Amino acid sequence: MTSRDSVLSCKSISKYYTKGKDVVKALNNINLEITRGEISSVVGPSGSGKSTLLYVLSGLTPPSEGSIFINELSLSKMQQSQRAAFIRDNIGFVFQDWQLLASLNAYENVLLPLMLKGARSITSEMKEEVLKYFEMFQLLDRTHHYPSELSGGEQQRIAIIRALIKKPSIVFFDEPTGSLDAAAADILTSSIHKAIHQEKCTFIIVSHDSKMLSISNHSYRIEYGKLKQLF
């Protein structure tokens, strides 16, 4: 047990990729503790291990060494099917390329995780909750648009709402400002702040862009798979 309200902790995480005779040490002995209701960011250059860190911490890829605890439960001690259900219900992921379903509109994309979590029908409370997030992310006038009819920034904010709607313990966010202009990046950061303050979400954000430092409670730098705390 830890004294702070720890949502994630990891101990001595390493991740190796083997390609023929070459071994890439993408993560090198990483220790990290994430407190509920905070934004933690990891900044580093391309190829430094940021995406690998997110995939490993969120349980999508197993580490080569070390252990990860989310809500004090060990991911590695779970059976594969148990881990898949745990990730589905507790982890939100905003991928670098958003991965919205092209055949569903914005509203339907956001409802999807609720259906996957087992909702038989969409109640009026669920609809209200979804619209609350669309308002928070300045997208109320875009609910019926399809991904192809939305700007990159709008698609990204839909992907965040889709991650938040199931009330995950942690949202992992890969390269938030990668393809945004300054105005879209401002809407993004102010929306995330609202989500944190109103919903007590926890975010782990990785980015090559040090702008993310200004919205973070804690920040780390990653280089060649090694993590150093900045603040």
User: Residue numbers of the site for ligand ADP (CB under 6 A)?
Assistant: 17, 19, 24, 26, 44, 46-52
Q: Does 156 bind Mg ion (CB under 5 A)?
A: no
CA gap 187, 160 in Å, rounded: 13
- Helices 182-199 and 124-136: crossing angle, nearest 10°? 130
Question: Considering CB distances under 5 to 8 angstroms, the limit depending on partner class, which of ligand ADP, Mg ion, none binds residue 147?
Answer: none
Question: Considering CB distances under 5 to 8 angstroms, the limit depending on partner class, which of Mg ion, ligand ADP, none binds residue 41?
Answer: none
Q: Are 57 and 28 in contact (CB under 8 A)?
A: no
Q: Which is nearer to ligand ADP, 57 or 110 (CB)?
A: 57
Burial class (CB in 10 A: 0-12, 13-18, 19+), 132: middle
The amino acid present at 95, given as its one-letter code, is F
Q: Does 177 bind Mg ion (CB under 5 A)?
A: no
Position closest to Mg ion via CB: 51
Structure tokens at 164: 């938040």
Tell me how far, at minimum, the Cβ of 33 lies from ligand ADP, in Å: 21
Q: Which is nearer to ligand ADP, 55 or 134 (CB)?
A: 55
- Helices 106-116 and 124-136: crossing angle, nearest 10°? 130
Q: Which is nearer to ligand ADP, 17 or 197 (CB)?
A: 17
Query: Which H or E element spans position 213?
Result: none
Question: Considering CB distances under 5 to 8 angstroms, the limit depending on partner class, which of Mg ion, ligand ADP, none binds residue 52?
Answer: ligand ADP
Decide: helix, strand or coil at residue 225: coil
Tell me how far, at minimum, the Cβ of 38 lies from ligand ADP, in Å: 22
Q: Does 51 bind Mg ion (CB under 5 A)?
A: yes
Query: Which H or E element spans position 201?
Result: none
Tell me how far, at minimum, the Cβ of 23 lies from ligand ADP, in Å: 9
CB atoms within 10 A of CB 144: 10
Tell me how far, at minimum, the Cβ of 20 lies from ligand ADP, in Å: 10
Question: Considering CB distances under 5 to 8 angstroms, the limit depending on partner class, which of ligand ADP, Mg ion, none binds residue 62?
Answer: none
